[in-house]
Amino acid sequence: MKDGLIPAPIARRPLHEELAEHLRQLIIECALEPGSKISEKDLCTQFAVSRTPLREALKLLATEGLVQLTPHRGASVTELTTEELEHIFPVMGALEALAGELACLHVTDAEIERAKKLQAELEAQHKSGDLRGYFRTNEEIHQLIFAAAQNPTLTQMSRSISGRVRRARYMANLSPTRWAAAVKEHRAILMALSKRDGERLGMLLKEHLANKFDVLREALFADLKAASSR
């Protein structure tokens, strides 16, 4: 029996994971407002599950930094402060840079081909103004690089940390000039990857990230002002 063909991925996932995913989505989309207290009872009735798996899901999200658990006081959605963003940024930068370097060591020709395809998509989406699709493709390129790095630990770290800032993306709206610049940066990133120039790729990714965070910072700041004025 050939072993790569049969694995029959009968993924029977436990309920708490399912729940965690849904909650994650809700938090990222800000359907659950940052800072708001989460009542277990309410969510239970809303999802039609008992408290046990819900609590397990909340514990999961707590380790991911999306919710805060205070003893006897329940869970609340963590709010993204500019301060926290300042702390997250350098860590993500280090991880991205590492991912770039490792990716260049392990990337296959097929992956480079795929990256080129994705880049073409990205440019098309930019031209047609498809912001939503652009975000998705962008995410895919990002994931491709991490996948090419062939380091599960790194991937996991990156996921857990980027989960915390991902919801900020939903608040931030790309300006046209920034969008154009981002596409250009992606072109350089693709170039470095296909040349397998790890050092350069790492640097580019870090810079790209820095620019991304500038946008986030701005959006977050605007959001804060809006919140305090109301």
Partner DNA sequence: ACTATGAATTTTGAATACAAATTGACGATG
Partner DNA sequence: CATCGTCAATTTGTATTCAAAATTCATAGT
Q: Which residues pair with 69 in a beta bridge?
A: 75
Under the binding rule (CB under 8 A), the answer on residue 114 touching a second copy is no
- Per CB under 7 A, 22 contacts DNA: no
Among 1, 2, 5, 12, binds DNA (CB under 7 A): 12
177 binds, among DNA, a second copy, none (CB under 5 to 8 A by kind): none
Among the listed ranges 70-78, 137-145, 183-191, 195-203, the one in contact with DNA (CB under 7 A) is: 70-78
Gap between the Cα atoms of 215 and 173, Å rounded:
8
Q: Is 102 an interacting residue with respect to a second copy (CB under 8 A)? A: yes
Residue 90 touches which member of a second copy, DNA, none, C-beta under 5-8 Å by kind: a second copy
Tokens, residue 108 = 């296959």
Q: Is 10 helix (H, G, I), strand (E, B) or coil?
A: coil
Q: How many residues bind a second copy (CB under 8 A)?
A: 31
Return the residue of 50, 63, 173, 211 that touches DNA, per CB under 7 A. 50
Name the minimum Å distance from CB 108 to a second copy.
Answer: 18
Asked if residue 50 binds a second copy (CB under 8 A), the reply is no
CB 140 within 8 A of CB 52: no
28-63 exposure pattern, b = at least 16 Cβ within 10 A, e = fewer: beeebebeeebeeeebbeebebeeebbbebbebbee
Dihedral sign computed on CA atoms, order 104, 114, 150, 108: negative
Residue whose structure tokens are 């870090």: 206
Where in 53-82 is the site for a second copy (CB under 8 A)?
55-56, 59-60, 63-65, 71-72
| Residues forming the site for DNA (CB under 7 A) | 12, 14-16, 37-41, 49-53, 55, 69, 71-75
